[in-house]
Structure 1
């Protein structure tokens, strides 16, 4: 009998059953997709790391270098160090690398190095995660440049530097565990030994060294770094630990996965509300049947089973289909992961992890159904057979007091006030749907905005010119400043010099740190605490440097810096946010001086006068200073965060689609429940002479008012709570206080308008269909 009743219920409520089924399937797809994505990321990073065997400690150095001293140090610390290898980089300027139709790589913010494959560890891999073996005349190009310049295998690039000129055929994409991410400022091109020797002989590039150490499993990285610094070994560049490379490689995909998980959690909340709405509609509709079954002596447990079995079947079927479809959804989101980390992301673990979502959704639905079905316990047979027992609101909104709205609109708004406990469910769902739309939009707009540069340790500016190490770099820097001073198209500019200094850490030993010196009042940063260094003996620290696992300093504390062999104490005046260079940077007043032996780069920031064509001005300075990198700040941000921005764009489209579908489905379910409950009242209004149009307007007015309030609260919640959540996620990267860039016409007009149109059409169709039922049948029932 119960099987027949469940079957009849499916047939009777085809539309509502399919609506709930689709919604649960969607929730499972997103939840399983997010879990699978994280599983893929963990698996991919692990396999990538296993194949690449990255260094545990990497020291970047430019200048004089003695391998003998490195070898003796390695032998001295064999208890910690398993292997040591030094990679010699030949740095070539982007303007000297030609491809396509007279195109070059000028303007890239990346340092480009041509290298040989390592012998022992830190291998550069192909797309199958196999160690690259490049033949003479060929080159393996980093994925970053293959994508940025749309290069293909078989294309050619030509290197022209001084007297050196050679054409290479692209043989492979190069996967580089240490320098894969756009967040790292260097990229390595792999060539053959013969080509490398010729390039070295012709002095085509500036030499730089990667002094790398692979530790034993129980090796102490901190002890090795301290000993290395105290030994005074070459290190006029940053010293990086292996963990930072894994963070950089996983960052863009992890951010997307976190956003998807958050949306999935919201969907699970909405799923609960959806089931509640469905049960309220079904129980209200079946009130007399429940009364009959109770009068016949059927137990409450058996009655509940009729309704519960239906949703057990729906949850199980939706879970299976959602589970299978989630793998297709994952493919839309992990393109970046497949390209940069691993080609094959399959594995039994992923299939097992993905099962968590459908099982969780099934258990949640069954448990929630049991909770909602407790309402049946409160229904007596007599009450069920006599009348509608749904609660009515106690508030009174007399029609005579209406002075602003038409009668039908006022009656709709009045209904919301009288039965707010019923409508609040819909309000919460509209708030959540709006949140799902607005949060990814805000994140995308913030990362795409030039103002995001403030989280990269640089002030807001129109352009920046980077000068890299050459024999004439000092002269070029002076010449550039003189030219900018006399250029009427330049409104203002400020030169900055970044050098590597020894700094006393929290344990009392010496670490190397990049410190930028210059006038920071011209292009001011946003500071979390304090201000920029303005006078002699002042320094400001990035958040990661000031943290407990960094220098452990706060505003007013002193930092000891070694300059020209002398210790100098600098007072911390401010703490700012920076997600570049591992988040550990510092800015000092020019009185600190310049460490001439360890200058890393010169930068000039500038603003253009009003009306000046930025593109033409960039081209002029790029041609005038061929070894420079000239970028506007938007392009600089795009090159650094392009992968994350592109993936967030996909999440924005997905979020809007999911939110609209949810809003439409829930609105249809809610109105079905409401109109079913009010059928007798609707029949009475119709018998009194009210037209179908007038009755529909009442329900449309009330539901649209709830929608508008839901959108307002949703946007405000996304703006305020969203900033907190994103700041929490970004704090580990060096940005603990993110302020969204709000594009008003998107967040307050376009996105809300899309929801209003979708929900408005749903309300119109639902009301039009429901109030057309045969009046005589309703009155007789």
Structure 2
């Protein structure tokens, strides 16, 4: 009997059930993919680090090394389990071409290195996380370039100098546990040992001094021991935790936004179910009364109605789960660490199944609670009234007699919304969420595409940036560049900055390491979360993550020193800024740099409007080679290009979803309202109201709710939206991102698309009113 009832009911209310079915499938698909993506991302990062046998501590060093000294120190340290020193051949971008000889990496922000496969740890893997073996004449190219340039197996890579050239054929794409993320401005190309030896004399040599520890919990102690041992340290030192954070930032943003989208859709699904259940009770009110009158217990009636939703929820969640299995590879194509990664049955199958099952249980539980309404239905009332009685209060302030401005039908529609606001609040909530779905990802996309987003990377806004890092005699080269820029009439303003390593006393009383950028901080100032830029020799500004880890705020004191044997210096924290680079752990000051431990040099400059920026970049690139000269807009694109592409895809999906959901919920609501107001519509028809009059009243109701939703949705998008985004980015160093809003898209086109789609759907849903006289029996 239940199967027959379910079958007949599904046939009788096709539009409502098809709409609900589609919506539940969409919710199951999103929650399955969101959960899978987060778990898969976490698992893939852990698996990549495990299979690559990633080091726990890496010291980059430009210059000569004494490997015997390193070996002696490592063997005597109880903290060290394994040590390896990796030589990298740094190739200037002007000498490297990918796929086409005429397109060298002239203005790339990446430090390009050629390496051979390692022997002890830090192995370079293929896309399936297998150990890569490269033959003579072949090359393994980092995944970053595969997605940036759409490279394919068989494409060529050229290294060409004035009196030397080499040609390689791409045979694989490299998964690099240390340097995969676009935020890491170093990329390793894997070549055969014979090719490595041939190339060795033609590039700058840099070393990665790597350690695996017996207990990685002692990473802080090890770092301090290394820095106090007078070992090679002419370069940044990075630990495995920082590498993992950079991986999570590069690919995790997409997963986080999809999870947010999933929760919003599940919220709408619950509201949608409530609407559908109430519509069902309204339409079947008399049948429920008859069943109660002949003695059928409320619990049995509840099971009859509930069984339909159990069946619908089970089928929808199962289909959403199956679709997520088939389409999930498409969503992962822009996530470098997930693409073609080894399949894991538990993650690929069980996690989305658990997520879909969670949605199913949530739907069934909500239906179970909603159908408790049957107990309040009186058989006599149901047979007499024919619909669920709604108590309304008299509101004199919205009386038709006092209306002086609106047409009668429009006023009656708005009056009905005000009187029965509880009925319409569900529609208001859904439209607000739809507006949120459309506007927040769009605002976030315009924000990270904006040139001002560079400030969240701890960089002042300038036209060009010149980087000198890991270059022989960098200090001499830096002074040469600086002297030339000082006398160049094309330069409007410039700021030389030097990053060096200092030691800092943490809250546990232990000395750690800190990268401090010193120099002219006034020419291209940052926006500070708190306080201001340092102006005196006894002041320092900390990045957000540094201030959080040191548990320091503006006005408090900090102890720093240049080296183990140097005197401590007490400095006052003048400000806190945002920075998502270098793991978010940086600082800025105006006191003298640590000349014994300089990491890199940077010169930022603005170009006079009478000169061409591209031409000046080309001139400086040629004159200052191998220094990197970058247009700041290009710097942002190269660093966050992959993340921007992911957010673009999610924005499109979210935008379409918002429009689609608003149309679906409008269909459901209008169907429910027509069922609920069936008797009232009959009375109005007898009073002389035409079908057009009633349609105008319905349009007025929906329009009023729609306009209120757009206003509230826009308000929430610009208040709650940044709060959600800041929660995600706060763990990465940017805790207060201000949206850069395109008013045409956010305030005009998005609301217009939403209003037009809802109005069109409303008119379409009310087409059944034309046949109302047939239902009346006339």
TM range (shorter): over 0.9
Aligned to 1:573: 574
Q: Deviations over 1:333-358 (max 9, x none)?
A: 21133556653334134311111222
Q: Per-residue deviation at 1:105?
A: 0.8
SS at match of 1:104: coil
SS at match of 1:261: helix
Structure 1 residues 411-420 or 372-381, which shifts more?
A: 372-381
Aligned to 1:458: 459
Structure 2 residue 75 is matched with structure 1 residue 75: yes
Structure 1 residues 465-474 or 19-28, which shifts more?
A: 465-474
Aligned to 1:760: 759
Distance 1:598 1:24 in 2: 59
Aligned to 2:114: 114
Q: Per-residue deviation at 1:332?
A: 2.4
Distance 1:563 1:392 in 2: 78
Classify 1:563/1:55 alpha carbon distance in 2 versus 1 (closer, same or farther; 3 Å).
Answer: closer
Distance 2:219 2:594 in 1: 29
Q: Deviations over 1:250-289 (max 9, x none)?
A: 3233222221112211222211111111111111111111
Q: Per-residue deviation at 1:218?
A: 6.7
Distance 1:586 1:205 in 2: 32
Aligned to 1:171: 171
Distance 1:335 1:742 in 2: 28
SS at match of 1:315: helix
Structure 2 residue 652 is matched with structure 1 residue 653: yes
Structure 1 residues 615-624 or 268-277, which shifts more?
A: 615-624
Classify 1:778/1:375 alpha carbon distance in 2 versus 1 (closer, same or farther; 3 Å).
Answer: farther
Distance 1:526 1:319 in 2: 47
Which residues of 2 match residues 54-93 of structure 1 at below 5 A?
A: 54-77=54-77, 79-93=78-92
Distance 1:41 1:560 in 2: 38
Structure 1 residues 321-330 or 511-520, which shifts more?
A: 511-520
Q: Is the 8 A contact 1:333 1:647 kept in 2?
A: no
Aligned to 1:614: 613
Aligned to 1:583: 584
Classify 1:501/1:206 alpha carbon distance in 2 versus 1 (closer, same or farther; 3 Å).
Answer: farther
Distance 1:372 1:618 in 2: 66
Distance 1:56 1:552 in 2: 27
Aligned to 1:325: 323
Q: Is the 8 A contact 1:39 1:350 kept in 2?
A: no
Q: Per-residue deviation at 1:647?
A: 0.7
Distance 1:265 1:576 in 2: 31
Q: Is the 8 A contact 2:90 2:114 kept in 1?
A: yes
Which residues of 2 match residues 407-486 of structure 1 at below 5 A?
A: 407-471=408-472, 473-486=474-487
Q: Is the 8 A contact 1:10 1:17 kept in 2?
A: yes
Aligned to 1:193: 193
Q: Per-residue deviation at 1:503?
A: 3.7
Classify 1:561/1:579 alpha carbon distance in 2 versus 1 (closer, same or farther; 3 Å).
Answer: same
Aligned to 1:384: 382
Structure 1 residues 526-535 or 463-472, which shifts more?
A: 463-472
Q: Is the 8 A contact 1:498 1:601 kept in 2?
A: yes
SS at match of 1:209: strand
Distance 2:612 2:701 in 1: 53
Classify 1:571/1:686 alpha carbon distance in 2 versus 1 (closer, same or farther; 3 Å).
Answer: same
Q: Per-residue deviation at 1:704?
A: 1.2
SS at match of 1:434: helix
Distance 1:386 1:576 in 2: 69
Q: Is the 8 A contact 1:236 1:500 kept in 2?
A: no
Distance 2:486 2:154 in 1: 46
Aligned residues: CA RMSD: 2.2
Classify 1:506/1:198 alpha carbon distance in 2 versus 1 (closer, same or farther; 3 Å).
Answer: farther
Aligned to 1:343: 341
Q: Deviations over 1:684-727 (max 9, x none)?
A: 22233322222111110111110111121112112211211221
Classify 1:363/1:691 alpha carbon distance in 2 versus 1 (closer, same or farther; 3 Å).
Answer: same
Aligned to 2:731: 732
Q: Is the 8 A contact 1:451 1:460 kept in 2?
A: yes
Structure 1 residues 211-220 or 289-298, which shifts more?
A: 211-220
Classify 1:476/1:238 alpha carbon distance in 2 versus 1 (closer, same or farther; 3 Å).
Answer: closer
SS at match of 2:718: helix
Classify 1:338/1:610 alpha carbon distance in 2 versus 1 (closer, same or farther; 3 Å).
Answer: closer
Distance 1:737 1:218 in 2: 32
Which residues of 2 match residues 390-405 of structure 1 at below 5 A?
A: 390-394=389-393, 395-396=395-396, 397-405=398-406
Q: Per-residue deviation at 1:80?
A: 2.5
Classify 1:118/1:270 alpha carbon distance in 2 versus 1 (closer, same or farther; 3 Å).
Answer: same
Q: Is the 8 A contact 2:96 2:159 kept in 1?
A: yes
Distance 2:537 2:192 in 1: 50
SS at match of 1:234: coil
> TM-score, length-normalised on structure 2?
0.95
Distance 1:12 1:224 in 2: 72
Q: Deviations over 1:47-81 (max 9, x none)?
A: 3222211001111112342112211111112x332
SS at match of 1:284: helix
Distance 1:766 1:551 in 2: 58
Q: Deviations over 1:483-532 (max 9, x none)?
A: 44444443322121222334444444443332211111111111122111
Structure 2 residue 356 is matched with structure 1 residue 358: yes
Number of residue pairs matched by the alignment: 773
Aligned to 1:137: 137
The runs of 5 or more residues in structure 1 that have no matched partner are none
Distance 1:505 1:238 in 2: 19
Q: Per-residue deviation at 1:169?
A: 2.3
Distance 2:155 2:231 in 1: 41
SS at match of 2:177: coil
Classify 1:49/1:594 alpha carbon distance in 2 versus 1 (closer, same or farther; 3 Å).
Answer: closer
Distance 2:599 2:16 in 1: 65
Aligned to 2:679: 680
The runs of 5 or more residues in structure 2 that have no matched partner are none
Q: Is the 8 A contact 1:285 1:676 kept in 2?
A: yes
